[in-house]
Structures are given as structure tokens and as C-alpha cells.
Amino acid sequence: MLAQLIVSGLAAGSLYGIMALGLILIYKTTHILNFGQGDMAMFSTFIALLLFQSYGLPLLAALGAALVTGGLLGIVVDRGLLRWAKNAPVTSLFIATLGIGMILQAIALWMGLIDSRPFPYVLRGRPLFIGDVVLRQHDLLVFGVALAVSLLFFIVFKFTKVGIAMRATSQNKRAAQLMGINVGRIGTWSWALGLGTGAIAGCLVAPIVFLDLQSMIFVMIKAIAAAVLGGFTSLPGAVVGGLVLGVIENLFSGYMPTAIAPLKTTFVFTLIILVLVVRPHGLLGERSAGGHG
């Protein structure tokens, strides 16, 4: 029972972690909390579903298309909209991302996402039994993807020019600019990568919760909570925060009596507040980042 709850919790937590990685990437370089991340992930995932069901594309190609949609969406959002609001304070830009989310919801509705739609599993074979723990193949895929995305982020940030430029931009925008980094382009890269990551998370979540206009928003809220738990500016923190959150949430709903079990979100959030009171910048966050004043 305990092992099973932990394993399922880790699977859910990996999903929060992937979603959180995209959010943090955007936040680090642009200081915008993208509250449209859920809607943007929903939109990319819905494109994959449309291509797969209505246009008969192979599933893997459709998933690839979702990734590309996410990336393109990032470019459009940054170049097409946010670039025009350069002088606005970040709190206003946060509102703009909400507006983009609303528009995407409307487009998805117009394209036919009216009710909850099932989304195909990539791996739908027999579950594995390890001891008394049941492991769905989809869970394995989620672990694999979470690992791969984390590794990819690590490699990009450690070894590629774009990644190093992103780190420089997040540390000090002006200094980065003086070193010849095109800060605007780095922002666009972050949006593209961030929303691409969101699309991956969306395609992995959709088979579990089904796809509707709202389903990704709840995942996004959990991802934001996970990111905060990890320390909002730390990429490894996002994954750690996601895993911790997923496991705790699962253990709570597994062991608590049914009368209290629906309060799991409250419980998790309360726990996060307690962690923040002890460590105001999260588990792995840097002291200076995130706050102002």
C-alpha cells in the first residue's frame, strides 16, 4: 500500500515537475509568471488530438506537432504580444498572459473542444508488477520523459550558448545585454522552450485526466505550487518540489478517512506554507531571487 502510493505519487509529481520547469524557465528570463501556461498547454495538446483523430496522423507525429505548436505559440506570444507591452509592469504582463489564455480557450472551443475528450495513451500495454506495486506503462513513460526533459534542461543550461545566455539574462539583464547577449531573443527562446515543455506535460496529463478547457489549469496551479516549494527560480527545485508534492498529496488521500481526504489540496498548500515559513525561498531557491525589496 505504502509503496504503491509513493510510486503513483511520484508519477503525478513528475507531471507537476515537467509543467513547473516550463513555468520557471519563462519566469527566470522574463520575470513574468505565465498564468496562461495551463491554457497554452491545453491548446497544444488539443492540436495533437485533432491531428490524430480528425486527420489520421500517427500518434507520435501528432505529439511532435503538439511540441512544435507549443514552441510556435511561445514565439507568437512573445514577439506578437508581449513585445508591445515592454513598458508595462510585470503585474500587468501577468494579466496579459491571462488574456492570451482566454483567447486560446475560445479558439479551442470554436475548433470543437466542447466537452471532455479522451486522449490516447502512447504506451497502453500490460502494467508491470514489482512485488505488490502495480506500475502502468504510462507511468514509466512519464518517469522517462521527466528524466529526459530534466537532463535536456541540464545540458542546455550547462553547455549550450543559448542556455548560458539565459542564465546570464536571469541573473542580470543589463549586464547580459552589455556582454552582447540579445536579451529579447533570449526571451523568445525561453517562451518557445517553456511552452514546448508545457505541451509535453499536457500530452502526458491528458490521457489521465481527459482533455477539456479547464483540465490543464488545475495541473498548472499544482505546478506553480511545486515550483514555489522548490524555490521558484531553481530548475532542479521544480522537479524536487513536484515529486514531493505528488507523493505527499497521494499519501494524504490514501491514508486519511474519506471525510477529510477531499481536503488534500488544502493540506498540501498548508504544508507548503509551513515549509516557506521555515525557508522563505523554498527548498532549493536562492536567497536573493524572487523577492523585491
Partner 1 sequence: MKRAIFWTVVVALLALLPLVLRSYNLYLLNLAAVKIIAAIGLALLTGFTGQLSIGHAGFLAIGAYGTALLAQYAGLPFWVGIPVAGLLSGLAGFILLVPALRLTAIYLAIATLAFGTAVVEALPRWASVTGGYQGMSVPRESFLGVTVTRNDVAMFYLALVMVVVLLWVARNIVRSRVGRAFVAIRDKSAAAQACGVSLAKYKALAFFLSALYAGLAGGLYAHVVGYISPAEFGLGKSIDLFIMIALGGMASLPGPVLGALFLTYLPHWLSGFRGLQSIIYGSALIGVVIFMPFGIWGFVRKWTAPDKVQSLPWPLRAAVEFVRGGGGR
Residues in contact with partner 1 by the rule CB under 8 A: 27, 33, 35, 81, 84-85, 87-89, 91-96, 98-103, 105-107, 109-110, 221, 224-225, 228, 232, 259-260, 262-263, 265-266, 269-270, 272-274, 276-277, 280-282, 290-293
All cell numbers assigned to 233:
527560480
Coil, strand or helix: which one is 129? strand
Taking the least distance from each CB to partner 1, the nearer of 77 and 145 is 77
Smallest distance from partner 1 to CB 170, Å: 14
Taking the least distance from each CB to partner 1, the nearer of 160 and 266 is 266
Taking the least distance from each CB to partner 1, the nearer of 19 and 165 is 19
Residues 33, 165: contact at Cβ < 8 Å?
no
Taking the least distance from each CB to partner 1, the nearer of 71 and 101 is 101
Taking the least distance from each CB to partner 1, the nearer of 99 and 118 is 99
Residues 244, 13: contact at Cβ < 8 Å?
yes
Smallest distance from partner 1 to CB 238, Å: 13
Coil, strand or helix: which one is 117? strand
Taking the least distance from each CB to partner 1, the nearer of 102 and 155 is 102
85, containing H or E segment: none
CA 121 to CA 71: how far, in whole Å?
Answer: 22
Closest CA to 169 of 279, 31, 33, 61: 31
Smallest distance from partner 1 to CB 80, Å: 10
All cell numbers assigned to 155:
545540458
All cell numbers assigned to 35:
498564468
CA 183 to CA 231: how far, in whole Å?
Answer: 24
All cell numbers assigned to 16:
507537476
All cell numbers assigned to 117:
475528450
Smallest distance from partner 1 to CB 264, Å: 9
CA 291 to CA 260: how far, in whole Å?
Answer: 35
The secondary structure of residue 261, as a DSSP letter, is G
CA 221 to CA 218: how far, in whole Å?
Answer: 5
CA 208 to CA 55: how far, in whole Å?
Answer: 23
Taking the least distance from each CB to partner 1, the nearer of 60 and 274 is 274
CA 232 to CA 292: how far, in whole Å?
Answer: 14
Smallest distance from partner 1 to CB 266, Å: 4
Smallest distance from partner 1 to CB 289, Å: 9
234, containing H or E segment: none
All cell numbers assigned to 13:
509529481
Smallest distance from partner 1 to CB 153, Å: 20
Q: For 6, how many CA atoms within 13 A lie in the half-sphere containing its CB? A: 5
Taking the least distance from each CB to partner 1, the nearer of 127 and 262 is 262
